[in-house]
Amino acid sequence: MGGRDREAEANELPVHTVDIDAFYMDTHEVTNLEYQKFILAKPNWQKDWIKDRFHDRAYLVHWNGKNYPRGYADHPVRYVSWYAAMAYARWAGKRLPTEAEWEYAARGGLEAKKYPWGDVPDTTKANYTSGNPGDTTPVGKYLPNGYGLYDMTGNVAEWCLDKYDKDFYSRSPRENPLSGADNVNWFIGNFTRVETTRVLRDGYWHHDPMWLRISFRRSFSPSDSFGKCGFRCVRVQ
CATH number at residue 106: 3.90.1580.10
Residue 24 lies in domain: 1-237
pTM: 0.95
The answer to whether residue 73 scores a pLDDT higher than 90 is yes
Bridge partners, residue 218, by sequence? 200
Number of domain units in the chain = 1
CA distance 95 to 73: 22
How do residues 173-197 score in pLDDT, each as one tens digit? 999 999 999 999 999 999 999 999 9
Give 133's pLDDT tier (boundaries 50, 70, 90).
low
CA distance 4 to 35: 36
Residues 6+ apart with CB under 8 A from 28: 76, 139, 140, 149, 150, 151, 232
How do residues 150-172 score in pLDDT, each as one tens digit? 999 999 999 999 999 999 999 99
Residues 6+ apart with CB under 8 A from 183: none
